[in-house]
Chain A
Amino acid sequence: MAVTKEFLKEEREQAWRVDIRKLLKNKERTALTRVHMGEVDAKKRILSNVEVNTGLTEEEAMAEARRCLDCPDPTCISGCPVEINIPKFIKRIEQGDVLQAAQVLKETSTLPAVCGRVCPQEKQCEAQCFYQLKMKKEPVAIGHLERFAADYERESGQISVPEVAAANGVKIAVIGSGPAGLAFAGDMAKAGYDVTIFEALHEIGGVLKYGIPEFRLPNSIVDVEINNLEKMGVKFENNFIVGRTATMEDLKEEGFEGFFTASGAGLPRFMNIPGENYIGILSSNEYLTRVNLMDAANPKTDTPIVSGKNVAVIGGGNTAMDSVRTAKRLGAERAMIVYRRSMEEMPARVEEVKHALEEGIEFLNLTNPTEYFADETGRVSKMRVQKMELGEPDASGRRRPVVLEGSEYDIDVDTVVVSVGVSPNPLIPSSLPQLETTKWGTIVVDEEKLQTSIPEMFAGGDIVRGGATVILAMGDGRNAAAAMHKYLQDKQNV
């Protein structure tokens, strides 16, 4: 299933691609400027959950597609964890055949409408674009084009289902329905396997459903992609916790021969500072699950949420941005990011930080909480913070924050969302004592094959990496599918 250089070259030499390259000279192409995607005005969008980015029009997409040089050595592909044939789909857009472009995406990607929205393209495909690498110009807007093609196909009502090989009757169990599990299931279904995804929650999608908010990734879009997997024959069992509802042994008895564990890093970390268990202090997982999965802000649902007037979100990652922007939409007067390093070290996507600033989010950088105080009912009312300055770089290369002595002060808060990272979910490892894990609780795998210490079990995504990104999880899913396919074939041939 891997994309080889020879294959890419062969595809590039196809007549339609050669014709399109001839339409414009490279000089004319590079003279074009990057098209920018429309956004809903910040003042308007904070009043609802409307998606912030509005997507490209067909004209805009075709204009942007013309910038792509269809390079002989498409370095952009190496920046994509699922190796989408980027020049091919972009040239299909330039040609005006968007439905074909969408099909190209699906050759290697299970969730293009998702990735086009949430991938940090600036660190992946677009970072490896010729424009960026050699010309120091704005890269081709690969992510926007991917999103355009996937959205166009969905809205056309003519969604194509990828071709599936003849059924081979081999049953495969996928543990977890997040991006890693979905990507794995898609590839295995294509190869003819009988795939069942087991999900602990009542909805399929993992972090795509409970974590990433509607204003970045509407759940309806995730559902369309899940539907597509269903059409490919993938089965879903929700409310099913492998290791609890049934053990791996039970599933083996039911005929499952291969297992892919993608149970994620769902365990939230807290800071263990005084007062952290007062009412109104939540993990970002709880806050976002209530709002996104349980729709708690909707008065028609039973799940409650206290929205808060003064909301502080602790942390500087994407989850922190999602939480603080959610707080704003729930009516917070002050929605604050409290982060112990400076703006430059923030792990959140540049785009999310920009959107947050536009929406009136306050950034208290170089600031760290040390203690919480509550009113007489036990609800948090104040947060004590201290100022930090940046010292020498630490092991991760980021400058270490150092406490500025005597800089403590108090801030009024009624809701605090702790977003300082997650740990691997222990449910699967704890039910399989023979499974080798690291001291951090991640599952040990062979780096290439993603095979665990239990030969028929492979693993990928955050349960192997710790908290990482959607697209890396999907890449793991693809690689594990290729490796498991080979493992099962070799086993059969022995």
Chain B
Amino acid sequence: MNRIIEKEFFSENVVRLEIDAPRIAKARRAGHFVIVKIGDTGERIPLTIAAANPERGTITLVIQRVGVSSRRITELEVGDELTDLVGPLGEATHIENVGTVLACGGGVGVAPLLPIVEALKKAGNRVVTILAARTKDLIILEEQIAKYSDEVIVMTDDGSYGEKGLVTDGMKMVMEREKVDQSVVIGPAIMMKFASLTTKEYNVPTVASLNTIMVDGTGMCGACRITVGGKTKFVCVDGPEFDAHQVDFDEMLLRLNGYKEIEKNAEQDYLNNKDK
């Protein structure tokens, strides 16, 4: 169980893992996530399911190295097992034919965006997808996204690939030229904040998939809580997707930094110990 079947590097710090998990592969829908724990002393971290193959009994996770736990999991090799893997968790994405959808993925946010784009396309929508990253090397899954998109626009901060500019520049361009009925944004919290401010200007209803701190992922602790429309919600059971125009992103950004210092030190310790 939970054995790694395939491992692929998208870039130096972004890894795709295909994992044997037949039950989760069968039960999951677009938008669902899992909680993973590596080793007996590991922490529980949430990761969105990027793809699933029910016939093969596998799920795919895309992980960016940002700290100790993401390093631990990306250092596993084919044949290794994830100590703990539970899911699928969260509410699945609400999918219907709304007309034209503008799907925006920032960095590894493109991985969780992929199943949503696929489902939206299969539901009959016209899908325009924007892939955004700092630089060319960090653009992932372009081919797979293109398969389910009517148009793909690539934006890089440094112009090393596609158009030069931020995700919001691409979004404005699309919304200026055609009527967009719905937008989906997934990426770093700061990117989702500005993307949703942009769609608000154009009155385009927008869904964001939030990536808060989680512990259990089943609604029993409230570590992942955020304010949506003035009310406290738990991202793990009420989300992870919410009406982006109702989300208090500033609060979310603050809460994400709650353990920043500890996390940074832990990563440094981890790297130091590894060198020894």
Please, which residues of chain B bring their CB within 8 A of the CB of A202? 37, 44, 83-84, 86
Distance between Cα atoms of A200 and B84 in the complex (Å): 11
Q: How near does chain B come to A400, taking the closest CB pair, in angstroms?
A: 25
Does A241 lie within 8 Å of B86, measured CB to CB?
Answer: yes
A302 and B42 in contact (CB under 8 A), knowing A277-B225, A289-B216, A289-B221? Answer: yes
Please, which residues of chain A bring their CB within 8 A of the CB of B258? 279-280, 306, 378-379
A267 and B220 in contact (CB under 8 A), knowing A277-B251, A279-B254? Answer: yes
Does A279 lie within 8 Å of B255, measured CB to CB?
Answer: yes
What 0/1 readout, one digit per residue, does chain B (49-89) give for beta carbons within 8 Å of chain A? 00000000000000000001100100000000001111111
**Which positions 171-224 of chain B face chain A at CB distance < 8 Å?**
215-216, 218-223
Out of A266, A272, A280, name the residue touching B218 (CB < 8 Å): A266
Out of B23, B232, B255, B257, name the residue touching A270 (CB < 8 Å): B232
Please, which residues of chain B bring their CB within 8 A of the CB of A33? none
Out of B23, B68, B84, B88, name the residue touching A302 (CB < 8 Å): B68
CB contacts between A and B, total, < 8 Å: 120
Out of B43, B220, B232, B255, name the residue touching A285 (CB < 8 Å): B220
Cβ of B163 < 8 Å from any Cβ of A?
no
Please, which residues of chain A bring their CB within 8 A of the CB of B69? 302
For B86, give the chain A residue with the smallest CB separation. Answer: A239
Does A279 lie within 8 Å of B232, measured CB to CB?
Answer: no
Out of B85, B218, B232, name the residue touching A200 (CB < 8 Å): B218
Cβ of B138 < 8 Å from any Cβ of A?
no
Distance between Cα atoms of A247 and B220 in the complex (Å): 20
Does A268 lie within 8 Å of B255, measured CB to CB?
Answer: no
Q: How near does chain A come to B193, taking the closest CB pair, in angstroms?
A: 15
Does A378 lie within 8 Å of B257, measured CB to CB?
Answer: yes
**Which positions 217-267 of chain B face chain A at CB distance < 8 Å?**
218-223, 225-227, 232, 237, 251, 254-255, 257-259, 262-263, 266
Please, which residues of chain A bring their CB within 8 A of the CB of B251? 277, 378
Q: How near does chain A come to B89, taking the closest CB pair, in angstroms?
A: 7
Distance between Cα atoms of A301 and B266 in the complex (Å): 10
Does A378 lie within 8 Å of B255, measured CB to CB?
Answer: yes
Cβ of B41 < 8 Å from any Cβ of A?
yes
Cβ of B24 < 8 Å from any Cβ of A?
yes
Out of A276, A286, A379, A427, name the residue touching B232 (CB < 8 Å): A276
Please, which residues of chain B bring their CB within 8 A of the CB of A200? 86, 216, 218
Distance between Cα atoms of A202 and B34 in the complex (Å): 13
Distance between Cα atoms of A425 and B222 in the complex (Å): 12
Please, which residues of chain A bring their CB within 8 A of the CB of B37? 202
Q: Which of B72, B86, B254 has the most CB of A within 10 A?
A: B86
Does A306 lie within 8 Å of B86, measured CB to CB?
Answer: no
For B72, give the chain A residue with the smallest CB separation. Answer: A302
Does B41 lie within 8 Å of A283, measured CB to CB?
Answer: no
Q: How near does chain A come to B20, taking the closest CB pair, in angstroms?
A: 14
Please, which residues of chain B bring their CB within 8 A of the CB of A289? 215-216, 220-221
Does A377 lie within 8 Å of B257, measured CB to CB?
Answer: yes
For A243, give the chain B residue with the smallest CB separation. Answer: B27
Does B222 lie within 8 Å of A283, measured CB to CB?
Answer: yes
**Which positions 97-136 of chain A face chain B at CB distance < 8 Å?**
none
Please, which residues of chain B bring their CB within 8 A of the CB of A302? 39, 41-43, 68-69, 72, 266
Out of B83, B215, B259, name the residue touching A286 (CB < 8 Å): B215
Distance between Cα atoms of A282 and B220 in the complex (Å): 12
**Which positions 17-42 of chain B face chain A at CB distance < 8 Å?**
23-24, 27, 37, 39, 41-42
**Which positions 223-270 of chain A face chain B at CB distance < 8 Å?**
238-241, 244-247, 266-268, 270
Q: How near does chain B come to A51, taking the closest CB pair, in angstroms?
A: 23
23 inter-chain pairs at a CB distance below 8 angstroms, sorted by A residue, are A200-B218, A202-B84, A240-B23, A244-B87, A245-B23, A266-B218, A278-B254, A279-B255, A280-B258, A282-B221, A282-B222, A282-B223, A285-B222, A286-B215, A286-B221, A289-B216, A303-B44, A304-B259, A378-B251, A378-B254, A378-B255, A427-B218, A427-B237
- For the complex with contacts A267-B219, A283-B221, A285-B222, 5 further pairs of A-B residues with Cβ separation under 8 Å are A241-B87, A245-B87, A266-B220, A286-B221, A378-B251
Seen from chain B, the residues whose Cβ lies within 8 Å of a Cβ on chain A are 23-24, 27, 37, 39, 41-44, 68-69, 72, 83-89, 215-216, 218-223, 225-227, 232, 237, 251, 254-255, 257-259, 262-263, 266
A-B complex: 6 closest residue pairs judged by Cβ atoms = A378-B254, A266-B220, A286-B221, A302-B43, A239-B86, A303-B43
